[in-house]
Chain A
Amino acid sequence: MELADLKAHELAALVASRQVSAVEVLEATLARIEAVDGSPGKLEPDADALSQTDKVHAFITPTVERARAQAEAVDKKIAAGEIPGPLTGVPFTVKDIFTVKGTPSTAASKILSNFVAPYSATPVARMEDAGGVMLGKVNLDEFTYGSSNESSAFQPHPRNPWNPSRVTGGSSGGSAAAVAAGEGALSLGTDTAGSVRQPAAFCGVVGLKPTYGRVSRYGLIAFGSSLDCPGPVARDVRDVAMMLNVIAGRDERDHTAVTVPVPDYTAGLEEGVKGLRIGLSPDFFKISFFDHQTGEIEEQPLPDEIKAAVERAADLLSDIGARIVENIPMPHTKYGIPTYFVISRVESASNLHRYDGVKYGYRSDGKVVDLNQMYRRSRGEGFGKQPKLRILMGMYVSAAQYSEQYYQRALKVRSLIRSDFERAYDPQGDHRLDALLTPTTPTPAFPIGDVYGDSVLMQYADQLTVTANHAGIPGISLPGGLDSEGLPLGIQLLGSDFSEATLLRIGRAYEMATENDPWRQQKPQVLANL
């Protein structure tokens, strides 16, 4: 197997034991990027870049020289008898919504296209301190506002490595695509409604949304401040656990990062699932979506292949000792998206007011008569359609005369969504679950162009993931097989607050139970001809 395809824990062990150098790992990974990625995203892409429809296009800014310096520094330390940390020599990418000192940190928006960050986000700094080698910044939906990456101001947007005519999902699409294609073993993403888990499911990799507050948001360009969670994307559960060990924990620069002690998430990974109670809920086996014609919410069962993947996972976990508990009521799941339409828009409107063309970022170069016109023009030219939509929606639903009807109401529904989970996990309650097992997404990766532009339908792609963000609880998406078209299917585990160790343990048990499945041997299409 090529170095670029090894897991992070395998690479760290090889580098630390001097069997390969960090520089060799880096060069192998850069060769892979060269082979599969094509042109990075740009504000004004040329025709050649846009014609590369068989490439992944995960990157906005590769930082090759910075990575070489880091890899050399790691090798130097090892030569001096020092192991930098658990990510020694592991190449990783960072969703371009995090600041990394000295690199363009764009949020995939024109309005931050010229912003070079003067400091690094806490989780990035922790990964670098642990010996990780940062390869560069990867693409996303503009300001994370989307579920397909098509809304990035930096084109070409990423394409799904399993089938480049399909979307990667989003908003951490560059992260999931890069990890799937061997362009770095790990990626740091963010999840506000499913933005780590949904692209992980679409690209056949593992993605974890930690409990809110488990990982510091310092240096994360804010979207929905009460919902945003930085999270790991990796090729297996052990790598996710290893990365979470590094990035989790209190941070004096983010007061919402909690003081709950960080366990060693890799320690109990293979202890199995004997005695664990894993729930299935009928409310996660149907999708509802808004029908423009009728103005009604329509309900449909999930596609059979997605249902079958989850049912098989339940059977396998049952075979190895888990107790499967069916018919868990989660009646407020269907309100996740309407609630999110309100809360996330209010928070993003608030967060986007800071972009004014004065202190940093884009300023219109047109002639203006005064400061107000400069604001309007810079924001008008700098923001794409999705940020504009969120600003306006957020203003509307939080306006004094509508706040009671929309925003206050949504915050109450959020309580109800949280109470569904509290009842399911209550150790003295009827169900006493350790985790809920669900599909990650209502569909596999959809074709590029199919949904983009319809901001309502696009949002409904997150309906099975978004309730975890409202409730603050952790969730993980695991590869759960391939559908008849060869596209990855994701299964999701949702747990109670700070139960990441349990989710990872169940995830690892599922991985071990399926390790000889034929689909585990399949490779993404973009790797087929290498």
Chain B
Amino acid sequence: MKTRMKEYRARLGLTQEKLAEMVGVRRETIIFLEKGKYNPSLRLAYGIARALEAGIEDIFILDDDST
């Protein structure tokens, strides 16, 4: 799973800490999500998309290799 979280986060001027606080997770979770090393649940993915003011499919991109 690829993500564009970092890009959208930077666009809104949010820090990882702030985003983590907004969606109720740890900063480490945001770090591993941004690195594509953790696949979030649908609930968390929606929460992040909402916090980043974007659609879920804009933030999380499923690459063909991971299917």
Q: Do A and B form a real pair? A: no
